[in-house]
Structure 1
Amino acid sequence: MHAALYVSKTGLAAQDKQLTTISNNLANVGTVGFKRDRAVFEDLMYQVQRQPGAQTTQDTELPSGLQLGTGVRVVATQKQFTEGSLQVTEQPLDVAIDGRGFLQILMPDGTLAYTRNGQLQINGEGQLVNNEGMLIEPAINIPEGTNHVTISTDGIVSAFRDGEVEPQQIGDILLVDFINPTGLQAIGGNLFRETVASGNPQQGAPGENGMGRLLQGTLENSNVDIVEEMVNMITTQRAYEMNSKVVSAADQMLQYITQTL
């Protein structure tokens, strides 16, 4: 069979994965704290028929050689941790991280996950939880009779109770950061898990040691750029069409050979 068939087949498969990545980005354009993915391509192995630098005579060498590529593949999808735009919601339990850092979420199995989604809520026991009802870490309990909660830029949570003038400090929201956030494993639900590639989590107070500040009544929007994704979708579609044209051209060449010889 013609080698171009197999090369273009890898191109079709790679562009299909690229389109899947783009569609996931566009689907999450309204997801709070979502970070867009970027497909990373690499060329496959080469068939070296004439080695570059091989001697053609005693005193001359090949300047370039003859190398035939075998196609392409998607080697990774890289999370882009640029900050999304900030949206003021005026909701007291909405928190945005202005800068680096992640909130810590206690999973049902006792492990920790990490998120940029600061849509916090209160469960039936007065504890701060995420949208799935999982506790933030360290745990914060809102006492009964609280009519207002404030969250400072450095993570101090205070409650104003009925009949009291002075606020009561009820806890601190701590952030963690990673040397390589792109190495985190996305597990859905706006959550990430630590991996060997991400490095160990470094915990600290908001606004200190490079950590971002907390902004109460604000949320971080998805960092997906709709125009950029639409342009990427068009280029992906055209690349897919060109690879399919190669399949068609190789098929016509084979058809010509079978009908002529």
Structure 2
Amino acid sequence: MQAQQLNVDTIANNLANVNTTGFKKARVSFSDLVAKDPARAASSQVDGDAGLISQGLRLGSGVGIANLSKLFDMGDLKKTDSPLDVTVQGDGFLEVLMPDGSSAYTRGGTLKVNKDGQLATLAGYALKPGITVPEDTQALVLQPDGRVQARAANQASATDIGKIDLVRFASPQGLLAEGDNLYRSSSASGEAISVRAGEDGAGSLAQGYLEGSNVKMVEEMVNLMVAQRTYEANVKIVQAADEILGLVNGLRR
């Protein structure tokens, strides 16, 4: 029941984030628990009973959580035409600077210029490496290769002001979700590998687009119904076992 409850909670969280930019759905994997030898258990309790049970029979003892992982397949692109919206069209992540000086990683490409004049996420975390936008900037251009260009009102063409680098991970499923569309590296994900946009499978940048959640509403609703029915079945099994034990106790009286 605990395993199925976690499954229901995970699916519910997926559905709640169906419209969250760059959200990656999670999946629960199950495994059976250690099998028990009923013949050995019977022989340790009452002599002679073990012979009534097949020596090759092993009974399962339930189900456990094998893994809770994120699925990083890409969501659908949504055209916004905003110059501060950007999508990574590949496996790469944007790297941001956290208040404690550490790095976090995101697929959410809704950017803004923070109070320090730097390109940052919507939550205010500056991109790494830092890119300062001049105050007189009238137009901002994010090139597919990561170059960031700014054009002032009195300029005919844009000039480079920085470059957005991307990072990749050997096993992104091992990343730790931190909230605010952020992830942290772990021993399971491996260390961040810096790459240039458009190279090594990291993907190029697309200005004016956002990556939608990769949650599929119908698929998650079906999964939720199956998980709920499984949970209900487990409840009924527990209730039936309780009723049988009640009858046995009544017979002993």
Name the TM-score, length of structure 2 as normaliser. 0.91
Residue 25 (1) aligns with residue 22 (2): no
The Cα of 1:124 is off from its aligned counterpart by: 2.5
Q: Find the counterpart in structure 2 of residue 54 from structure 1.
A: none
Change (3 A) 1:64 1:158: farther
Residue 111 (1) aligns with residue 98 (2): no
Given residue 234 of structure 2, which amino acid in structure 1 is its aligned partner?
Answer: N
Q: RMSD over aligned Cα, in angstroms?
A: 1.6
Q: Find the counterpart in structure 1 of residue 81 from structure 2.
A: 90
Q: Find the counterpart in structure 2 of residue 6 from structure 1.
A: none
**Cα deviation digits, residues 94-115 of structure 1 (max 9, x gap):** 0001111000000011110000
Residue 80 (1) aligns with residue 80 (2): no
Q: Find the counterpart in structure 1 of residue 2 from structure 2.
A: 13
Q: Find the counterpart in structure 1 of residue 165 from structure 2.
A: 174
Given residue 117 of structure 1, which amino acid in structure 2 is its aligned partner?
Answer: G
| Pairing 1:8-157 to 2, within 5 Å after superposition | 12-49=1-38, 65-157=56-148
| Structure 1 stretches lacking a partner, 5+ long | 1-11, 52-62
| Pairing 1:189-204 to 2, within 5 Å after superposition | 189-204=180-195
The Cα of 1:260 is off from its aligned counterpart by: 2.7
> 4+ residue runs of structure 1 moved beyond 3 angstroms?
none
**2 CA distance for matches of 1:166 and 1:260?**
92
The Cα of 1:27 is off from its aligned counterpart by: 0.9
Secondary structure of the corresponding residue to residue 187 of structure 1: strand
Work out which of the residue numbers 226, 234, 252 in structure 1 matches 2:243: 252
Given residue 45 of structure 1, which amino acid in structure 2 is its aligned partner?
Answer: V
Number of residue pairs matched by the alignment: 240
Name the TM-score, length of structure 1 as normaliser. 0.88
| Structure 2 stretches lacking a partner, 5+ long | 41-53
The Cα of 1:176 is off from its aligned counterpart by: 0.3
**2 CA distance for matches of 1:70 and 1:15?**
15
Given residue 25 of structure 2, which amino acid in structure 1 is its aligned partner?
Answer: R
**2 CA distance for matches of 1:64 and 1:197?**
40
| Pairing 1:213-252 to 2, within 5 Å after superposition | 213-252=204-243
Secondary structure of the corresponding residue to residue 114 of structure 1: strand
